[in-house]
Amino acid sequence: YHDLRIVLKPHKLPKDKARLIMDFSKCTMETQKEQSEWQLIGHRGEEMETDPASSTSGKIYSEFHICIMVVRFHHWYVTNVIVPYITITLMSYGIFWMPLEETVSRCEVSLALLLSLIALKFTVSSHIPRVHYSTAFDTYVSSMSLFVVLPFIMSIVTYTCDEEKPPLISGQYSC
């Protein structure tokens, strides 16, 4: 599960002038909608004090930390992101069943699948949280993109290195 933390602080008022206190008798958790992508597990509140060494004036301030514990429902991501990415990636290896002489067709299929992968990324990007660091999902998308590009490169190299076939572009090439 994830902890969503909220920290409340009185604005520049030391502990002796403003103290944040939680009234546990009034704490409730609202029910959520059925279509929510998060499941609320629980919540907790903690009354804390700041370290006087971290303050330029050496004062102690009252803080109140609210922690909401949630779990993300992953079914949508599996059915709408992970499975289509795997399907497109596996389809990209289908070019190896195409005849070697049909290099142009193989390249067309590879590029079409790569464009499909890019379009899928743009489609689901509005549903993915934007964060400043690389996530496991980012690594997954990058690796799937690489696995779609590899058959394309392998097809070009195989065609170029085949001495019996003329080069795709005029000129002499050798491996």
Return the ∠ at Cα 36 (arms to 7 and 30), rounded to 5°: 55
pLDDT single digits (tens) 154-175: 888 887 877 666 555 555 555 5
What pTM was estimated for this model as a whole? Answer: 0.60
**Averaged confidence pLDDT in the chain:** 80
pLDDT single digits (tens) 20-33: 666 656 666 565 55
Contact 17, 30 (CB under 8 A): no
Contact 111, 167 (CB under 8 A): no
Tokens of 98: 């195409």
C-alpha to C-alpha distance for 58 and 61, rounded to whole angstroms: 10
pLDDT confidence of residue 24: 59
pLDDT confidence of residue 23: 65
b/e sequence 139-161, b meaning 16+ C-beta within 10 Å: eebeebbebbbebbeebeeebbe
Contact 150, 90 (CB under 8 A): no
